[in-house]
A and B are shown apart, each in its own frame.
Chain A
Amino acid sequence: MSAARIIDLRVHGSPRHRRFAESALIGMALVVFTEVMMFAGFVSAFVIVQSNAPARGWPPPGQPRLPIERTAVNTAALLLSGVALWVAGRKFAGSAPRAAEPWMAASLALGGFFVVFQGAEWVALLRQGLTLTSSQLGSFFYLIVGTHALHAFAAILALAWAWYAMRTGRLTRPRLGAVQMFWFFVVLIWPVLYWKVYL
């Protein structure tokens, strides 16, 4: 693919139509809207159940304390991943789109680290007796954090696809924008979940 063609695709997306907004971005915005409301519902239910617990009754007796410190490190990795993707987007829109590739790879690696670290934490918590049916904390923890991990996994697949498309010169700005929007949603909703579920 010629450089001119790459730049044409990168800047204009589909050259056929002049559009107010790309379908990929509108579709992803609608997905993110519904996902935000789903997480808001989960967190709302969790907060109300937690408020019904007796004083000093949270976490419930016999249940382990959630690993706040280690998850803080993981949170920092996820936030850095978001920053790396933001930089990648800026580079891709600039005069040297190839400079975006290492930033994209860094974002992908940090996102992968987050999911793997989260999985290791889960294994440790399961060994300590926190399961889906052990208590209300366990039920909500695996529901909320598990749903987020599923989204993170899906977003990592999207990032990997975008990185590959970038390397082969087939990535357009609207498509990168849609992937960015989904990853930013995964990144930005996590601190809220960490604050409400862990702290």
Chain B
Amino acid sequence: MKRARWLATVTALALGVVLPALAQACPMCFAGSERSRIAIFKMTIVMSLLPLGMLGTGVLWLRRGGRSFLGDEFEDRDAYTPPAMESPESDQHRSA
């Protein structure tokens, strides 16, 4: 039983890999001249990388700008020194 399931899974996976190649579902990718296919491939790369490049540039700008912007954010807090605590002895003197 186990072996039958395993075989069925492997067969399904193999068909899943092989069949789309036979179907050639994308008419733009497989039809037309070699020149046309190269143009589609190049434009696919451009249209994929262009937004990623712009977003990457934006993220780098935010990181760089954010560091300098937040660099002095906690300066006031770090420079603050709390007032000295009064000792319990001085309280006893005061009550006496």
Measured between beta carbons, the chain A residues less than 8 angstroms from B46 are 40, 44
A99 to B81, CA, bound (A): 48
Is there a chain B Cβ closer than 8 Å to A96's Cβ?
Answer: no
Measured between beta carbons, the chain B residues less than 8 angstroms from A36 are 50, 54
**Chain B interface size, under 10 / 10 to 19 / 20 to 34 / 35 or more:** 10 to 19
Measured between beta carbons, the chain A residues less than 8 angstroms from B54 are 33, 36
**Chain A interface size, under 10 / 10 to 19 / 20 to 34 / 35 or more:** 10 to 19
**In angstroms, how far is the closest chain A Cβ from the Cβ of B65?**
6
- In the complex, per-residue mask of B38-52: 1 if CB is within 8 Å of any chain A CB, else 0: 111011001100110
List of 10 A-B pairs having minimum Cβ-Cβ separation, nearest first: A51-B39, A44-B43, A51-B36, A20-B69, A51-B35, A52-B36, A48-B39, A47-B39, A40-B50, A33-B54
Measured between beta carbons, the chain A residues less than 8 angstroms from B47 are 40-41, 44
Is there a chain B Cβ closer than 8 Å to A6's Cβ?
Answer: no
**Are B50 and A48 in contact (CB-based, < 8 A)?**
no
Measured between beta carbons, the chain B residues less than 8 angstroms from A52 are 32-33, 36
